[in-house]
Chain A
Amino acid sequence: MSEAILDIPLDSTKTAINPVEPYLRMDRMPHIWCPGCGIGTTVNCFARALESSGLNLDKVAIVSGIGCTGRVAGYANLDSFHTTHGRAIPFATGLKLSNPELQVVVYSGDGDLFAIGGNHFIHAARRNMDIKVICVNNLTYAMTGGQTGPATPTEVISATSPYGVFEPSFNLVQLAEAAGASYVARWTTYHVKQLSRSMEEVLHKKGFCFIEVLSPCPTLYQRRNKMGDGLDAMKFYKEVSKVRHGAPTSECALTRAGEIVVGKFVDRDRPDYLELLNRQMTATLGDRYATPEVTCSEG
């Protein structure tokens, strides 16, 4: 791990500026996340990815759903949209198609993206919609008090599974690959450097990209399951994570305390939705096809 990335200066004098400040809405600080929560770490990585991407940030938009991670959009100093529960992906789809020069990032949680929004996830992946989905997976519905989610491993105790989760969970990376994603990776909040690099990579990759980030929720998930605090989570991630780039995603399912396979699993080139659209319309309509110009003119 790079010391430099974690070494955020604590100097409170006016001259000291946190390197990620330009990427955040500082007028909205402090944020709402709990001590030890991993979402802020992912945002830090995202800010650094934005910085190193060299992209014109006026042309990067971020869309979130609802939940703890759903609040990310509100802190990002970008055109940002905090939408409804589960619907960040279809909102992002409309945004991208109406204004294709935007790089559209969906930043949301496991419950939002894979339970209430699960259908949108698989269809956006199927279409290879050119959006980048970052899922902060804390294995629970944190905003509402720690209930069982679609990614909660079995045997875990949650607010709605007081006797232990017995229903199987999704393997998110396998789901993403099967649905057609062009890029699939998984990291934990321990792997900040790798995560930043993956984020930067997807900002330059065409098509539907998916990054899962395992992230601790000390307040709810860990407390109920006697898994310690944020630092214990880092130790746990360090201990059980195994980097296996290119690992078959079918072998990457998560359990309560077992190995966490991390790495980049899928990186393939498929034509994205707009490319397919243009290709099809040009083939069938020829000169009659008018390239979409969706934005309306000013008054």
Chain B
Amino acid sequence: MHADPNGVLTGVHFLDGDHACCEGTLAAGARFAAGYPITPSTEVVERFAWRIPTVGGIFIQMEDELAASIAIQGAVWGGAKAFTVTSGPGFSLMMEHIGYAAITETPCVFVNVQRGGPSTGLPTLPAQADMMQAKWGSHGDYSIIALCPNSPQECFDLTVTGFNLAEEFRVPVMMMLDECVGHMTEKVVIPEAGQIAITPRRFTYKSPAEFRLFEPREDLVPDMVKAGDGYRFHVTGLTHDERGYPSMNVETQDRLVRRMRDKLKPFANGRAVFEAENLDDAEVVVVSYGITSRVAQRATQMARAQGVRAGKFRIISAWPFPEQHIRELAGRVKAFVFPELNLGQMVHEVERCAAGRAKVISVPHAGGSVHKPEVILQAILEAAR
């Protein structure tokens, strides 16, 4: 299925990442957004509020992030593709509803334009310090998908991908932008609607009598329904059986929580999204994501120019973590160098996957800016020694 031309602003634009992300939501078919103003993410919904009345949909500014993050889920069960947008403190407030989306398998998208923290931190400056929060921030065991664009163009492209993945796996998808990418303006090419692939919602073909709300298909993902179609279904945040009814026992809990994890396995193992360069002969691999990946690439080029066999592994889908790739690389490279705009978060995943077979060097940065390429270069040179 292809994008609805109504929402697609085909053409060549000069847009910032926030605005490009908004165009991505529209191209992906989102017709409902709820938000609450917070820097540096507000531009996403400001543009949506401006665009949506002529496309045909609704934006509502809610009273807080708690409200925004659950209103979108009400909209999804009403039949919409929906998303919310936030940053920093607002993302913290949304945590409970990320868990609700996970356990109710509500396909939806959370855009987080990361800023420096903790707390109010650096509202107008970048960080990448919510990466673990995106994965683990809500209580309990659950799985999400997180994507990390590094340019306004990718803010468009990956937002479409994010909506498609949300539908395919019925998980909340986190668009992990950062202030730098969100506020940076570059050329953005938006293709014709016919060239944008859209994953349609997989509505059940079963009758209300035979339908069970959380009965998984072979891919472990249940089919969707929407309110008002006569299914008289029940959705709860309690542990539930395949009918959707609360069931407070060990077996139901085990089956549900394991399935929610296992349904993402195909993605984790085979379909991780990444960019690799010069890995064939690499002795040092620079792992990075988001805005840092651009600076890391510059540092990798500088290292190559100095004769160091440096390669690039840029993570685009940060969750599920692309462990297969890191494990494979760990067997044949000397070291990983991992710059991120935090004091070391995703680097722990690389350490886990490397399991001592290659050195893992964290290049932390507390946020507020990006690394100087020279700092990363220095780490590469030391790693190569």
Contact = CB atoms under 8 A, between A and B. Distances in A.
B72 interface: yes
Interface in B169-201: 199-201
A81 B201 CA distance: 20
Given A87-B67, A295-B79, A297-B200, A98 B74 contact: yes
A73 B60 CA distance: 25
Contacts of B237: 82-84
Contact of B66 (A90, A96, A289): A90
A58 B79 contact: no
A28 interface: yes
30 contacts: A58-B232, A78-B232, A79-B77, A81-B77, A82-B235, A83-B73, A84-B97, A87-B67, A90-B62, A91-B70, A94-B70, A94-B73, A94-B75, A94-B82, A95-B74, A95-B75, A96-B74, A97-B60, A98-B74, A98-B79, A119-B63, A123-B67, A281-B53, A285-B54, A290-B55, A293-B56, A294-B57, A294-B80, A296-B200, A299-B200
Given A25-B234, A288-B54, A98 B82 contact: yes
A255 interface: no
Nearest to A97: B58
B378 interface: no
Interface residues of B, number: 55
Contacts of A78: 232
B226 A99 contact: yes
A185 interface: no
A296 B29 contact: yes
Contacts of A94: 32, 34, 60, 70-76, 78, 80, 82
B203 interface: yes
B66 A95 contact: no
A63 interface: yes
Q: Of residues A77, A79, A290, which shows the largest number of chain B Cβ atoms within 10 Å of its Cβ? A: A79
Given A80-B234, A90-B74, 4 more contacts: A74-B245, A96-B74, A120-B66, A292-B57
Contacts of A61: 227-228
Interface in A80-124: 80-84, 86-87, 89-99, 101-102, 119-120, 123
Interface string A265-299: 00000000000010001000100111111111111
A119 B6 contact: no
A266 B55 CA distance: 38
Given A90-B67, A290-B6, A297-B200, A74 B234 contact: yes
Interface string B272-316: 000000000000000000000000000000000000000000000
A245 interface: no
A99 B227 contact: yes
A79 B74 CA distance: 12
Interface in B1-25: 1, 6
A95 to B, nearest CB: 4
Contacts of A81: 74, 77, 234-236
Nearest to A297: B200
A298 B203 contact: yes
A90 B228 contact: no
Contacts of A99: 78-80, 226-228
Q: 8 closest pairs, A vs B, by CB?
A: A94-B74, A299-B200, A295-B79, A98-B78, A99-B78, A290-B56, A94-B71, A90-B67
A20 B191 CA distance: 55
Contact of A91 (B74, B230, B233): B74
A91 B58 CA distance: 15
Contacts of A63: 74
B223 to A, nearest CB: 10
A87 B235 CA distance: 14
Contacts of A25: 234, 245
Contacts of A91: 70-71, 73-74
Contacts of A242: none
Nearest to A99: B78
